[in-house]
Structure 1
């Protein structure tokens, strides 16, 4: 899985700030409702299914989980783990048996290695969003919001978030690549207030013996 998408994926699970003024006000109200709900959690874990639809290829399906507590996070999938303690970021590639270490740059708004920027994608002036419609899904009334990057050089054309109208919970997010690839993230379960330990957000070397570690931190 390409590294930029890993960090784009992080953005779909949490909404933590007020919506950007100047975007669709109806969409902003929905996002603010999501934000208000998430902000009541001390931490939250999302269990999800990711379907990757490559052009003219079979769909690839993976299961994963995303844990967030403040600016700490842990994204775990079958072949990779991405985590941060708010100061350092670790990207663990199980197949390659490799670990990359990066500096967490909280104030660098253009840095896609910073999940905080992507978690508040709708508050980022580089993206615009709007409510595109409502429809029934499995007997549930839902609303759909589309995000588009203003940067014409972005490898992603748009993202579509589907939210349950009654509960303000994210049901799914679709990400459309300019190369025709489509990523669909279906939220299967949400577990708030699980009280994770600090160790869950920090690379534990003893759990990954013989992995090559590449330190790319900025001094």
Structure 2
């Protein structure tokens, strides 16, 4: 009987050790990706976004693009353009012919910088080394992130990383109700030539738009 308990104890210690090593390996890869992203002057991304639920009766798909330069960005998604100069956020809807101007607030989820999507894992998640998939000849290593807050609506997040380039390939959010949100990077370009006024909002370009200043 003592031998059985000794065996079980050793097995549990080994499992715990392997789990800790996998967690450390996962975090090291995430940190490497983030450090590489932060080294670029700017990033231009074309992406595809898909949402579907477990029942299969909901499936939405949209394309978008974003240019990020530190705290500045220009995002085009679902018919809306969003520009941030680090101080103000300008949300431009061509359908409504309206521009909404608000102050940038780091504590407001609406002010979340696209670049922070790569650092979201630093708080509130456990890291797990997951599967490798071959996608059109590319080796994609997945990191599974599990929320530490039991009240989170998310069950887990899968982050796919190109093992060669160390760039993000996709991000899959899986909710507890089975809904999946999948963001896939179609193109990833760095250090592009952009004008110094690229992230400057020019009101005269929208003469017939209603300007809604929230702050």
TM-score (norm 1): 0.74
The 8 Å contact of residues 112 and 118 in structure 1, kept in 2 or not, is answered as: no
- Cα distance between partner residues in 1 of 2:209 and 2:192: 29
- Structure 1 residue 179: Cα displacement: 4.8
- Structure 1 residue 44: Cα displacement: 0.9
- Structure 1 residue 190: Cα displacement: 1.1
The 8 Å contact of residues 66 and 76 in structure 1, kept in 2 or not, is answered as: yes
- Which SS does the other structure have where 2:35 is aligned? helix
- Structure 1 residue 154: Cα displacement: 4.2
1:2-81 equivalent positions in 2, closer than 5 A: 24-54=23-53, 55-57=55-57, 59-81=59-81
Q: Which of 1 and 2 has greater Rg?
A: 2
- List alignment gaps of at least 5 residues for structure 1: 1-22
More displaced 10-residue stretch of structure 1: 32-41 or 150-159? 150-159
- Structure 1 residue 166: Cα displacement: 1.8
User: 1:203–1:146: structure 2 CA closer, same or farther, 3 Å change rule?
Assistant: farther
TM-score (norm 2): 0.76
Q: Which residue of 2 aligns with 1:138?
A: 136
- List alignment gaps of at least 5 residues for structure 2: 1-21
- Cα distance between partner residues in 2 of 1:151 and 1:92: 35
The match for 1:114 among 98, 107, 111 is: 111
Deviations 1:171-191 (A, max 9, x none): 111123445432211111111
How well do the aligned residues superpose, as a CA RMSD in angstroms? Answer: 2.6
- Which SS does the other structure have where 1:25 is aligned? helix
User: 1:63–1:130: structure 2 CA closer, same or farther, 3 Å change rule?
Assistant: same
- Structure 1 residue 167: Cα displacement: 1.7
